[in-house]
Amino acid sequence: MSAQQRDPSAITVQTALRDAATIVDVRSPAEYAKGHVAGAINLPLFSDGERAEIGTLYKLLGRERAIATGLEFLGARLPAFVQFFEPHRGSAIAVYCARGGMRSAAVAGLLSALGFRVTQLPGGYKAFRNHLLSVFEQGLPPRLIVLHGRTGVGKTEILNRLDNSLDLEDCAQHRSSLFGAINLQPRTQQQFDAQLLAVLDRLEYAAPVWIEGESRKIGKVIMPEALRKAMQRATCVLVTASLESRVDRIVAEYGRADQATRAQCEGALRGLTIPLGKKRVEEMIARVRADDYRPVVEALLLDYYDPRYEHSMRNNRYALTVSSDDPGQAVHALRALARGLSTPQARRDVRREGLAG
């Protein structure tokens, strides 16, 4: 059973989204960019400028004048607007705006009159956000297994091989380090929240859920406080790897020979001037400019990341240690651990032996 199905108070929002084959956000591009339902298509009824003008008219001259102006804006492009929906005729469509008001009501009414199967999302994006926050407070997975390990050991690679896993870095589109945004487009907090909700809705809560150990912040986004506390109580697993394979993995992911990547790496390195010293950072930057990433990565692991990891994880106790140098064997051992933890007696043993974090 999914997180959304556990929340009777939000059943109208859940039902509309669950049953829709296509979800359409008719808010302005700026509203959509800030945050939207995961998977929703933006088909703005008005541009950002038009929305601002209509809002001003509503405040100064009243509702009727605002509606009349809105119809003028929409009139010329209405045929193309309707045409967008033609490929979706016959499938269920959910439409929403900010609060389930005039914009989505107008679109839903028009499409319904044209024979489309359409639902207006009750309460709009605001209701979706309220539902999302309630799930984060009350509907999180009851049993987590957290993968810990030094930078570059391949926790994400292992996580992606496991069923029923939650990849917070993928939700954030950030690798949760100073270099974590390189060649990615990090999500806003609202985008992260919506993506996290979509992933939670696909998980099977009757089985343990795999997750990678993260700090409270992943780039600039913050994970739900209830999830952070649940991770602190969870069963912990330590993933290890040789220094050589860690360097190999990081160079393969980050070490692209293009100017954009070099520039991003250089910017991140300059953020380490205080802990590493200006001279050493400049030496690293020179190597990056020459596409000589390997010595830079090794130095960062040994002198920056590893000491900080050991300090932050010093109080952890682990139910299992696996090596990612053989990912297949590691995944096999982890699945065996999950099967064992699925029994009530095993869960009691883990708690009694103090292995849960």
Catalytically active residues are 97
CA-CA distance, 278 to 276, in Å (whole number)?
7
Q: Can you name the residues that pair with 117 across neighbouring β-strands?
A: 92
**DSSP notation for 298-313:** HHHIIIIIHHHHHHHT
22-25, strands of its sheet edge to edge? 41-42, 22-25, 92-96, 117-120
CA distances (Å), origin 292, targets 248, 251, 267, 272, 283: 13, 10, 16, 18, 11
Residues sharing a CB contact under 8 Å with residue 94, sequence separation 6 or more, in sequence order = 16, 17, 19, 20, 22, 23, 24, 118, 119, 120, 121
Q: Can you name the residues that pair with 322 across neighbouring β-strands?
A: 239
Q: Which of 212, 227, 208 is nearest to 163 (CA)?
A: 208
Q: Can you name the residues that pair with 239 across neighbouring β-strands?
A: 322
Cβ-contact 184, 174 below 8 angstroms: yes
Q: Where are the alpha helices (DSSP H) in 187-326?
A: 189-202, 225-233, 243-254, 259-270, 273-276, 278-289, 293-300, 306-312
CA-CA distance, 162 to 203, in Å (whole number)?
12
Report the interhelical angle of 124-138 vs 11-19 (nearest 10°).
Answer: 110
**DSSP notation for 139-180:** -S-S-EEEEE--TTS-HHHHHTTSSSEE-HHHHHTS-SSTTT
Judged on CB neighbours under 10 Å (0-12, 13-18, 19+), 92 is middle
